[in-house]
Amino acid sequence: MSDKAYAVFEEQQQARGIDLNQVRAKLKALKVETPSWGYGDSGTRFKVFKKNGVPRNAFEKFEDAAQVQKVTGLAPSVAIHIPWDKVDDYGKLRSHAESLGMSIGAINPNLFQEDEYMLGSVTNADPAIRRKATDHLLECVEIARQTGSRDLSLWFADGTNYPGQGDIRNRKRWMQEALTEMYKAMSPNMRMLIEYKFFEPGFYHTDLADWGMAYNLAQQLGPQAQVLVDTGHHAQGTNVEHIVAYLIDEQRLGGFHFNSRKYADDDLIVGATNPYELFLIFYQILEAQTDTNRGILDTVDNIAYMIDQSHNIEAKIPAMIRSLLNVHTQYAKSLLVNFDEVRAAQEANDVLAAEDAVRKAYEFDVSPLLIAIREEQGLPADPMKAYLQSGYQEKIAARGKGGASW
């Protein structure tokens, strides 16, 4: 892309009253966490495909993530999943991450892989199983202390398959009991991010099925508990950006798990099927940044942007790069919304002008802008090409097959 393309873009945006210095600063500040499990082998319930060069342990996952950061500058932290990323010495993992210019991000407990959890973890009718599950949550708080992580990100597979299988109200109380114990163990700087999902693996009911349940729980627990929105965890047609705006206004939006879906929790590359939704989510966040309420501004400033994907058939590192570039692109477009124009149309009750003021930002080609800011930061203009030409993919082939699963 030439300087000329950027000059044309600049002129066009200045004429629309867009402050490009502010846009560029925001684009450079965006950070999106990648998940350790996105670098491992994953699949569907039909098969996990074994890929060559997949990291064999948590240390190698950070090495792969560092390559993603090197070419994008967007992803300096990695969320870890316990026990998938369990290590003897978290101080050592932390130093390894730091030596690569990376940091350990959110800690994700895993309460869905052991046989004992088949009928529920913190909501199991057996108190001994509930105790074991709660102890794992407490272990994760301790790990967060050692890794210096702020966020504990909770997703529960708890649910039932048949009417009558479980006592839904008891299960609700047991969930609250376990999370209350965990909440009390957290340091003041930590946050509990509560994720919801409407079905799967439970096909009749899920104990935390939607944002309302997660929100209510967060309210009961206290200010360090927030809701996490995974973009793939809603029924078809749900207006996710409405949920985002609502939770921001309630000062309870803690973070995102970005991915895309066509049918259910598909965990595909973010923006692959839903780029306009992603744009509209950022539009709601940026709109909230124009608020004067301190609590709302704090909420939006502290949103944890994370990716939650499983790359089943595609090469994992390039898939992560593509995801980050897609997020950056939609964020860039949302920064081109002229909020004065939207508000004037809203105040005049001009439906079409209001819709136009939002949509037209989405229609701009932001590639000259993104290339310009990458160059300013000493990053490659084309991160994907730079990675593919770096020789790293060939180098890790020596790891062979049979790396970490999820």
Residue 156 or 282: which CB sits closer to ligand PSV?
156
Which residues form the interface with ligand PSV (CB under 6 A)?
108, 155, 195, 197, 230, 257, 265, 267, 308
Residue 60 or 267: which CB sits closer to ligand PSV?
267
Residue 115 or 347: which CB sits closer to ligand PSV?
115
Cβ(406)–Cβ(41) below 8 Å:
yes
Shortest Cβ distance from residue 197 to ligand PSV (Å)?
6
Residue 111 or 245: which CB sits closer to ligand PSV?
111
Partners of 160 in the β-ladder: 205
Shortest Cβ distance from residue 249 to ligand PSV (Å)?
24
Question: What b/e string do you get for 80-100 counting C-beta neighbours within 10 Å, with b at 16 or more?
Answer: bbbebbebeebeebbebbeeb
Considering CB distances under 5 to 8 angstroms, the limit depending on partner class, which of Mn ion, ligand PSV, none binds residue 265? ligand PSV
Residue 41 or 267: which CB sits closer to ligand PSV?
267
Shortest Cβ distance from residue 201 to ligand PSV (Å)?
9
Residue 147 or 334: which CB sits closer to ligand PSV?
147
Which residue's Cβ lies closest to ligand PSV? 155
> Near Mn ion by CB under 5 A, which window of 305-313, 331-339, 345-353, 367-375?
305-313
- Tell me the pairing of strands 225-230 and 253-258: parallel
> Is 261 an interacting residue with respect to Mn ion (CB under 5 A)?
no
Cβ(134)–Cβ(178) below 8 Å:
yes
Residue 117 or 155: which CB sits closer to ligand PSV?
155
> Is 81 an interacting residue with respect to Mn ion (CB under 5 A)?
no
> Is 257 an interacting residue with respect to Mn ion (CB under 5 A)?
yes
Q: For Mn ion, how many residues bind (rule: CB under 5 A)?
A: 3
CA pair distance 82, 154, nearest whole angstrom? 11
Considering CB distances under 5 to 8 angstroms, the limit depending on partner class, which of Mn ion, ligand PSV, none binds residue 333? none
Question: What b/e string do you get for 46-66 counting C-beta neighbours within 10 Å, with b at 16 or more?
Answer: eeeeebebbbeebebbbbbbb
DSSP strand E in 196-341: where?
Answer: 205-206, 225-230, 253-258, 304-307
Give the SS3 label for residue 77: strand
Residue 122 or 157: which CB sits closer to Mn ion?
157
Considering CB distances under 5 to 8 angstroms, the limit depending on partner class, which of ligand PSV, Mn ion, none binds residue 197? ligand PSV
Integer angstrom CA distances of residue 286 from 261, 289, 300: 24, 5, 8
> Is 267 an interacting residue with respect to Mn ion (CB under 5 A)?
no
> Is 33 an interacting residue with respect to Mn ion (CB under 5 A)?
no
Backbone angles phi, psi at 28, to 5 degrees: -75, -25
> Is 308 an interacting residue with respect to Mn ion (CB under 5 A)?
yes
| Residue among 290, 276, 278 at smallest CA distance from 338 | 290
> Near Mn ion by CB under 5 A, which window of 104-112, 170-178, 203-211, 257-265?
257-265
Cα angle vertex 14, ends 13, 18, to 5°?
70
| Residue among 335, 332, 339, 330 at smallest CA distance from 278 | 330
Backbone angles phi, psi at 381, to 5 degrees: -60, -35
Give me the residues that bind Mn ion (CB under 5 A), please: 230, 257, 308
